[in-house]
Structure 1
Amino acid sequence: MFLLADGMSEAERSFASAQARSGLGGVLSALDCRWVNHPAAMSRAEYKPVQLRAARECGLTIPATLITNNPGAVLAFADEVAGPIVCKPIASPVLVEDGTLKVVYTHRVTEDDLADLRGIETTAHMFQAWVDKLYEVRLTVVGERLLAAKVHTGSDNAHIDWRSDYRSLSYEATETPADVTNAVKRLMNVLGLRFAALDFIVSSDRHWTFLEENPCGQWDWIQHHTGLPIAESIADELQGIT
C-alpha cells in the first residue's frame, strides 16, 4: 500500500499514483510464474473489438456489429441488418452515481429510438443484430477444461439481458459441440488466456453465437446452481494439473 502524504497537490498525487501503478504492475508482469491470467493478456482481451475479431477468425459465429458514435451510421446499420438490433455497453456496464450502483443493460432498439438518436455522439456505443434465442450458455473455460451451463430466462427483460432479472433464471449443465470446443480453444490460445467466462446464444436450430468473453468473469453462482467443478478446475490449473 502506498501512502500519499498530506499536503500533496493534485498533480503530485496523480504523478505519485501513476508511478506506483507502473512500479507494482511492472514487477508483477515481469514475474516468471504461472498466471491465471497474465495481466497484459487480460487487459487486451477485455476489449470487445479484440475478442469479437479473434472469435470470428477462430471459427465462431458473431452477430453483425457496429461500434460508433455517429447517428447516421446507426441508421445505415439498422437498414443493413433489416431486422431488430440491440445497443449495449462496450465496456463495463456498471457505474456508481451518488453512491448508488447502477447497471446499463442491453437495450433492444425501437423505431422511436431510431427516430431520435440525440446523445449518440457523446461516446462510443456498440450495436449488434438481435439473435433470437432458445437459451443462453455461460461457458467457463479453465485451462483445457470447458464447463458449460445453459441459462434459461423466465421473463421478457431477462430474455433481452439475463443480468437484469436473476430471479427468473434457471440453469443446467450441458455439453459444448465439438466445433465450438475447438474454436474456443483456438480463441483462448490467440488471446493468451487460461481462464475466461464466455457467453453464447443458442438459437432454435441449436447454432451457437458468440457474444463476449470476460477474462475475469464470475463463476461461483454457476457452480452453485449446476454442480460444475469450476473451483476445482481453477485449483488444478494453478497447480499445473491437467
Structure 2
Amino acid sequence: MVSQDPDEIRRFCSMLDGQVILKAVRGTPSSQLYTLPVAPEHLADDDALRLCPTIFQEFVPGTRHLRVLCCGTTSYAVAIDSPDLDWRRNLDVPIEPVALDPLVQGALTRVLELLELRMGVVDLKLDPDGRPVWLELNPQGQFLFVQGLTGLDLTAGFADFLCEEAAVRAPDRTPG
C-alpha cells in the first residue's frame, strides 16, 4: 500500500497484526533511506504520516533475497543471504548468481509487459518455505554493484539488450 492517510495506514497495520514494514518513496541524493519495521511510534503522529507518501508492505520473514535485472525476456538474478530486513545496509554477505525458476521468469516478463516496461530491477524475498514473494520493481533500479560483488557480467548483458532495443526501434535505413 502507498499512502499518507493516517487512518488508512493504521487500518492496514492492524489488519496485518503489526507485521508491516515501511519504505520511503524517495530519499535525497545525500541520504539513503532504508526499509524499517513499522513501530508504534511511527503510527502515533498524524502529521508525520501525512508528510509524504510511504510504501507499507506485509513483513516477509526469511533471510534469502533475490535481485533480478530484467532486460526484455532475459533476466540476471542473484541471491543475497542476509539476516537484515534491508540487505543494502551490509553488502559483506554471501551474494551469488542464481537461475530463476521458469515460472518466476515468466511471471516477471509478464509484469514488465503489463506495465509496458522493457527493463526493470525486481526485488523478491524467499519466504521460509522457499517461495518467492514480490517486494518491488524499480524501473531504474541499481544493478551494476552486483557485477562488482559477483563477477556476473551485467554490463555486457545490458549492452546487448540496449543494442537489440535500438535495432528494433531504428527506422529502416535502406537506400532507396
Under TM normalisation by the shorter chain, which class is it? 0.7 to 0.9
CA distance in 2, matches of 1:191, 1:113: 32
Structure 2 equivalent of residue 222 of structure 1: 146
> Does the aligned pair in 1 maintain the 2:20–2:37 contact within 8 Å?
yes
What secondary structure sits across from 1:160 in the alignment? coil
1:217 shift after superposition: 2.0
- Unpaired runs of 5+ in structure 2? 168-176
Q: Deviations over 1:178-213 (max 9, x none)?
A: 221111111122223232211111112111111111
CA distance in 1, matches of 2:33, 2:121: 20
1:164 and 2:89 aligned: yes
What secondary structure sits across from 2:162 in the alignment? helix
CA distance in 2, matches of 1:75, 1:127: 10
Q: Deviations over 1:118-156 (max 9, x none)?
A: 4112222221111112310000112221111001125xx
Change (3 A) 1:83 1:207: farther
% identical aligned pairs: 25
Alignment of 1:89-108 (within 5 A): 89-90=24-25, 92-93=26-27, 95-96=28-29, 101-108=30-37
Indicate the structure with greater helix content. Answer: 1
CA distance in 1, matches of 2:159, 2:140: 15
What secondary structure sits across from 2:31 in the alignment? strand
What secondary structure sits across from 1:102 in the alignment? coil
1:117 shift after superposition: 4.5
Q: TM-score, normalised by structure 1?
A: 0.62
Tell which structure's C-alpha radius of gyration is larger.
1
Structure 1 equivalent of residue 23 of structure 2: 88
CA distance in 2, matches of 1:193, 1:138: 17
CA distance in 1, matches of 2:114, 2:46: 37
1:74 and 2:9 aligned: yes
Structure 2 equivalent of residue 125 of structure 1: 54
- Aligned with 2:119 (options 180, 186, 195): 195
Q: Looking at both structures, which has the greater relative contact order when contacts are Cα pairs under 8 Å and sequence separation is at least 6? A: 1
What is the identity, as a one-letter code, of the residue corresponding to 1:192?
E
What secondary structure sits across from 1:119 in the alignment? helix
Alignment of 1:1-242 (within 5 A): 66-90=1-25, 92-93=26-27, 95-96=28-29, 101-153=30-82, 159-166=84-91, 168-240=92-164
1:236 shift after superposition: 1.7
CA distance in 2, matches of 1:139, 1:122: 31
Number of residue pairs matched by the alignment:
165
